[in-house]
Amino acid sequence: MTDNLIERAKGVLTSALVVHTDIVVKDAGGIYVEDVSGRRFMDFSSGLATVNTGHNHPKVVAAIKRQAGIFMHSGSIFHYEPVVLLAEKLRGITPPGMDMFFFSNSGAEAVEGAIKLARHHTGRQGVVAFVGGFHGRTYGSLSLTTSNILYRRKYQPVVPSVYHSPYPYCYRCFFGQRQDSCSMDCYRYLERLLKHLIPPDEVACIIIEPVLGEGGYVVPPAGFLNRLRDLCSRWDIMLVLDEVQAGMGRTGRWFASEHFGVIPDIMTIAKGIASGMPLSAVASRKDIMQAWPPGAHGTTFGGNPVSCAAAIATIDAIQEQGMLGNAAWVGEYALNRLRTIQASYDRIGDVRGLGLMIGIEFVKEGGPDPDGLRDILRRCLDKGLVLLECGVDRNIIRLAPPLLTTVAEMERGLDILEESLREAGAGR
């Protein structure tokens, strides 16, 4: 059945879609994936930061099977319980005020919904996003995405009235500043943008990832998001937090914004929400959601009953198994150990993160080192550890294992990483 699968795939699937490994899966469970030859791999990518509860969590699998036997599709024709129950549950775990939801299928779709909601609600067109951000590949979301020029090449013109300001990426500051003497020029740039390019009273929303994902697993400096919050409140601009990658427990809290004490007007959720089943959500306040008139937005597949059942089981599993606390604890362990490793390996320029959303940046002679990183990732894969890269120069490991990874498993994973670094001669 799986003979020559990769070759067969090349014959029928477009080369535009990059598959990151040559692993042909036979089976998966928890943090492990087994290939057709019986080799087991630790998946520290969580299938692109998505299977936060691990692969095939039994509770999620049972919920999917149960719901598939009851009712599989509504197409906005019928009412069904899972979608309401899920919204009620999400209301209990999202930041205060996020109490109404619109469900769709992917992160990009949620971002599309968020932009439309912000424009509709404010009656303004302007959207401000951040250089380095990733928000999806559909035209509206692509207009915001700037994490890599590859995603935009040959697709211009994108949606108009979108402006960009640099993401606060302290290790490689756009303004050449150092963290200890930073005067937050990135925020000043944004203020200037609102004086030179678009007035704040024409801006519908400012959209930002509370922790940068695809762009490099970057944690913004203390106070940046709070300043955005103040700016938005002053000008009645909707603050949209794109929690597609950082949300659903990835950072050791339900949502990354909790680390900064910032409450958005609109929030997007996807990836980890349903443990791999296609589902996403736009969340907002009741007054904003209720002012969105019937038919102003819609979907055929969004809020699919099976996906909603998977999401309910996902939230329950995260709560019952204490996965948030575990992610915080194992993440802290990993950060400490990685900082110790960093002291012996000059190719590791920076280690940063929150919970189990950790970036390890590879450098050489002061610049990014994508070749060095590629070599390390290959060595790790040979030893049974799946890791994924990110960042505009593809020189950053995004460490994003499932939230139930134990300290012992993390230890094993980091042993493999350290062995690979040693073999590659990346030491001082």
Ligand X SMILES: Cc1ncc(COP(=O)(O)O)c(C=O)c1O
The residues of the shown chain that bind ligand X, judged by CB under 6 A, are 106-108, 111, 134-136, 209, 213-214, 242, 244-245, 270
43 is written with which tokens? 């998946």
* Residues ≥6 apart with Cβ < 8 Å to 302: 102, 103, 104, 105, 109, 280
C-beta of 213: minimal distance to ligand X in Å?
Answer: 4
364 is written with which tokens? 């050489």
Shorter beta-carbon distance to ligand X: residue 117 or 426:
117
C-beta of 106: minimal distance to ligand X in Å?
Answer: 4
Cα 307 to the chain's mean position, in Å? 19
Shorter beta-carbon distance to ligand X: residue 17 or 77:
17
User: In angstroms, rounded to a whole number, what is the distance separating the alpha carbons of residues 198 and 203?
Assistant: 7
**Residue 10, phi then psi, degrees to nearest 5:** -60, -30
Q: Which residue bears the tokens 């915080």?
A: 328
List the beta bridge partners of residue 390: 396
Shorter beta-carbon distance to ligand X: residue 307 or 420:
307
Sheet of 126-131, strand order: 100-104, 280-284, 266-269, 238-242, 203-208, 126-131, 162-166
Shorter beta-carbon distance to ligand X: residue 111 or 205:
111
Other beta carbons within 10 angstroms of residue 185's beta carbon come to 16
Shorter beta-carbon distance to ligand X: residue 106 or 275:
106
Task: Determine which helix (DSSP H) or strand (DSSP E) holds 396, and give its type and residue range.
Answer: strand 396-399
List the beta bridge partners of residue 357: 354
User: In angstroms, rounded to a whole number, what is the distance separating the alpha carbons of residues 327 and 112?
Assistant: 30
Shorter beta-carbon distance to ligand X: residue 47 or 252:
47
C-beta of 242: minimal distance to ligand X in Å?
Answer: 5
Shorter beta-carbon distance to ligand X: residue 46 or 74:
46
Contact 304, 278 (CB under 8 A): yes
Shorter beta-carbon distance to ligand X: residue 134 or 254:
134
C-beta of 353: minimal distance to ligand X in Å?
Answer: 15
C-beta of 135: minimal distance to ligand X in Å?
Answer: 5
User: In angstroms, rounded to a whole number, what is the distance separating the alpha carbons of residues 315 and 321?
Assistant: 10
Residue ranges in 204-250 assigned as alpha helix (H):
224-235
User: In angstroms, rounded to a whole number, what is the distance separating the alpha carbons of residues 309 and 304?
Assistant: 9
Other beta carbons within 10 angstroms of residue 398's beta carbon come to 24
Handedness of CA 116, 218, 422, 404 (dihedral sign): negative
C-beta of 310: minimal distance to ligand X in Å?
Answer: 15
Shorter beta-carbon distance to ligand X: residue 113 or 126:
113
C-beta of 151: minimal distance to ligand X in Å?
Answer: 11
C-beta of 257: minimal distance to ligand X in Å?
Answer: 13
Q: Which residue is nearest to ligand X (CB)?
A: 107
C-beta of 269: minimal distance to ligand X in Å?
Answer: 10
Q: Find the radius of gyration of the CA atoms of the chain.
A: 21
